[in-house]
Amino acid sequence: MKLDSVQIRNLRNLQHVTFKPSHGVNFILGINGSGKSSILEAIHYLGFGRSFRTSKHKNVIQNEQESFTVFCECLEDSTTQRLGLSRSINDTVSVSINGIKGNKVSDLVSLLPVQIFTPQSSDILLGAPKLRRKYIDWCLFHVEHSFLTCSSAYSKLLKHNNALCRKQQVGYANPQRVYWTDLLAQYGSQLTEFRNGMMTRLIPLITSNLAQFLPEFCVEISYYRGWEKGLELNEALSKAADRDYKNGYISVGPHKADVRFRISGKPAHEVLSRGQLRMLVAALQLATTQCLMSYTQKTCIFLLDDVGAELDAAKREVFIDKLLESNTQLFVTAIEEHQLEFIDKYQNKKMFHVEHGQVREES
């Protein structure tokens, strides 16, 4: 899927913006506060239904406006699709797919795979395990059609089982509790099979990318499923039942899963510099676009915000080269043109300048 045209209304300082991006690489230049990152934020809304800068949608809406809208025309296999999303100040959402309106954001984002790389992307390595689970689940959402049903069912069952744990009058042997725990184990095992399969696909891709991005290090990647080795999930849940009943929540299962990165037995984030951590994250995110292309023939839209942050010119170039090899449509923001000194070699490209919320394509 490639964005053929983009329209943005009342999003931050972008009051009325329309532009036609290249299907290859798009360079967006502007000083801080000009609106260049807001363009990426608008595209991010189409791919995720949310911002990468704030959890409060009303903060994205331009002052004195009731809502913002992002609309695009996309080209896939010579077929044009018209996609749009609007969020209002009272937090309602409206989705449009080829003129048909609804409010299921998942229907929209399933059509438009989007990934983003920002100065904060190192949080995937430095932050909580939830961020690493999201990394795997993004791939599964776009590659495995039944994943979303399984994941949603597990989340609902986990919430219900946690509620049962908190009810002091319900003992573990209670038939109701046993029934819901068995269901949790069933869907949790399916979810773990999905994630194990995806990690089997991703690890060789990540390792190959690291051979170019960080050739001086040998990064060991392992997946922790969320409970003790040698046990089935129903056995692990039974073993932890007394503790969980006492604490009021389920302590084992795929909601505790993690991806671990080590170098010479030490956590990678304790060995690598910030710039090197950025390249490890780049290898991870590149692997998702490669996986998407390999298993579904879908192409990804990749947003690269503030390319100059802790990436030297050689690393920027090799990262962009590898993304374009997977037929990715790329949007790259930078403050100054010298940060993009290598761009002359690209044929299928466009340059945009952003100033005071206005976007001008360079001829």
- Pick one of 3.40.50.300, 3.20.20.10, 1.20.1440.230, 3.30.930.10 as the CATH number of 1-113+299-363: 3.40.50.300
- The response to whether 327 counts as a known ligand-binding position is no
Reply yes or no on whether the pLDDT at 172 is more than 70: no
Nearest to 237 by CA among 318, 161, 138: 161
Q: Tell me: is residue 134 an annotated ligand-binding position.
A: no
Burial (CB < 10 A; 0-12, 13-18, 19+), residue 117, is: buried
pTM of the model: 0.93
CATH 1.20.1050.90 maps onto the chain at: 122-295
pLDDT of 144-158, one tens digit each? 989 999 999 999 999
Class of domain 122-295: mainly alpha
**DSSP class per residue in 230-271:** T--HHHHHHHTHHHHHHHTS--SSGGG-EEEEEETTEEHHHH
- Burial class of 312 by CB neighbour count within 10 A (0 to 12, 13 to 18, 19+): exposed
Q: Would you say 357 is a known binding-site residue?
A: no
Confirm whether residue 363 is marked as ligand binding: no
**pLDDT of 274-292, one tens digit each?**
989 999 999 999 999 999 9
According to the annotation, is 31 in a ligand binding site?
yes
Q: Do 27 and 40 contact (CB within 8 A), yes or no?
A: no
Q: What SS3 state is found at 84?
A: strand
Of 20, 22, 23, 14, nearest to 45 by C-alpha is 14
pLDDT in tens, 184-207: 999 999 999 999 999 999 999 999
What share of the chain in percent tops pLDDT 70? 98
DSSP assignment letter at 62: P
pLDDT in tens, 10-47: 999 999 999 999 999 999 999 999 999 999 999 999 99
DSSP 3-state of 306 = coil
pLDDT at 171 over 70: no
* 3-class secondary structure, 325: helix
Q: Please give the pLDDT value at position 181.
A: 92
Torsions phi, psi of 56, nearest 5? -105, 105
Structure-token match 């690890």, residue found:
203
Residue 67 annotated in ligand binding = no
Q: How crowded is residue 29: how many other Cβ atoms within 10 Å of its Cβ?
A: 20
Is 30 annotated in a binding site? The answer is: yes
- 121 labelled ligand-binding: no
168: confidence class by pLDDT, cuts 50, 70, 90 = low
